Structure 1
């Protein structure tokens, strides 16, 4: 749901801000560190993902249903943040690379 997504986005952003502040975090997390460095980076990347996902679909399908353009564009905006969510998940939850995470999740 949208509520879970918003809560989760905040949790991920907070987590990344906490663990990527030093040079070691930047080296280890790469693009995820840049995304989480500042809120505008995070917001802009979500918009970029939304545009990347939705604009080609709109271009191809616009002639089929021009009245759905606004609805589809809003959907693309929300999907952009879902893609950011999935990408950052792939960087955060690496239990094999982070033994402390595995221990915290009791996966030993």
Structure 2
């Protein structure tokens, strides 16, 4: 007897571009720091955005490490809704300047 895993479910139509790109990225702490730093150079990043868009599940330790490397990053507390619509108090990180 053969068991089909997708039986009763629609066939996958493909992976979203961002998801496939993230799967190919290195997820080491150094790679996470580099992704976060690149994003911070463009604009402020919230905890939710770091998790959702940068695949960094714990952004606070990465921010701590960047600060230890001399980057001046401030935290502004804000309220932001998650994708499911629930509002949370989150950190919004703003890069002020690079290493001194």
**TM-score exceeds 0.5:** no
Q: Mark the structure with the bigger radius of gyration.
A: 2
Shorter chain as denominator, the TM-score bin is: under 0.3
TM-score normalized with structure 1 length: 0.24
Q: Which has the higher helix share?
A: 1
TM-score normalized with structure 2 length: 0.26
